[in-house]
Amino acid sequence: MDASREKAPSPQETFVQMAQAAGLRGRVLVTLGLLVLARFGTFVPIPGIDRAAFAESIKNSPLVGFLDIFSGGALSTVGVFALGIIPYINASIIIQLLTTALPALEKLQKEEGEAGRRKISQITRYVAVGWGIANSIGISLWLQKYALPGHEGIFFTVSTVMALTAGSMFVMWISELITERGIGNGASLLIFLNIVAVLPKSLADTFNLAQSGDSSILTRTVALLAVFVLMTVGIVFVQEGTRRIPIISARRQVGRRIQRERTSYLPLRLNQGGVMPIIFASSVLVLPGALASFIANSGAGDSIKQAASNVATFLSPGTAAHVAFYVVLIVFFSYFYSSLVVNPVDMAQNLKKMGASIPGIRPGIATTKYIEGILARLTLLGAIFLGVVATVPTAIESGLGVSTFKGFGATSLLILVSVAIDTAKQIQTLVISQRYEGMIGKD
Domain range list for the chain: 1-197
Rounded to two decimals, the pTM is 0.73
* Ramachandran angles phi, psi of 250, nearest 5°: -65, 155
pLDDT of 2 reads: 44
Burial of 253 (0-12, 13-18, 19+ CB in 10 A): exposed
Neighbours of 1 (CB within 10 A): 11
The 3-state DSSP class for residue 153 equals coil
Domain 1-197 is found in CATH 1.10.3370.10 = yes
Q: Measured between alpha carbons, how far is 95 from 104 in angstroms, rounded to an integer?
A: 12
CA atoms within 13 A on the CB side of 70: 24
The 3-state DSSP class for residue 154 equals helix
Q: What is the DSSP string of 50-69?
A: -HHHHHHHTTT-HHHHHHHH
Bridge partners (DSSP) listed for residue 266: 245
Q: At a CB cut-off of 8 Å and minimum separation 6, what does 330 contact?
A: 277, 278, 281, 383, 386, 387, 390
Residue by residue, pLDDT tens for the chain (443 residues) are 444 444 666 667 667 766 677 777 888 888 889 988 888 888 888 888 877 787 777 776 666 666 666 676 777 777 888 888 888 888 887 888 788 777 887 787 777 777 888 888 899 999 999 988 988 887 887 788 788 877 777 888 888 889 889 988 999 999 999 988 888 888 888 888 888 887 777 777 667 766 666 666 677 777 777 777 777 777 777 777 788 888 887 665 555 555 555 677 888 888 777 767 777 777 777 777 667 666 665 556 667 767 767 776 777 666 777 778 888 888 888 888 787 778 888 888 888 877 778 888 888 888 888 888 888 888 888 888 877 777 776 677 666 666 555 555 566 777 787 788 888 888 887 777 766 655 555 55
pLDDT of 3 reads: 41
For residue 308, the surrounding DSSP H or E stretch is helix 302-314
Q: At a CB cut-off of 8 Å and minimum separation 6, what does 253 contact?
A: 259
Bridge partners (DSSP) listed for residue 357: 248
Q: Measured between alpha carbons, how far is 242 from 271 in angstroms, rounded to an integer?
A: 8
Strands (E), 250-343: 252-254, 257-259, 262-269
Cα 204 to Cα 221, 277, 404, 413, distances in angstroms: 12, 30, 9, 17
Spatial contact of 325 and 315, defined as CB atoms under 8 Å apart: yes
> First CA to last CA across the chain, in angstroms?
14
pLDDT of 126 reads: 92
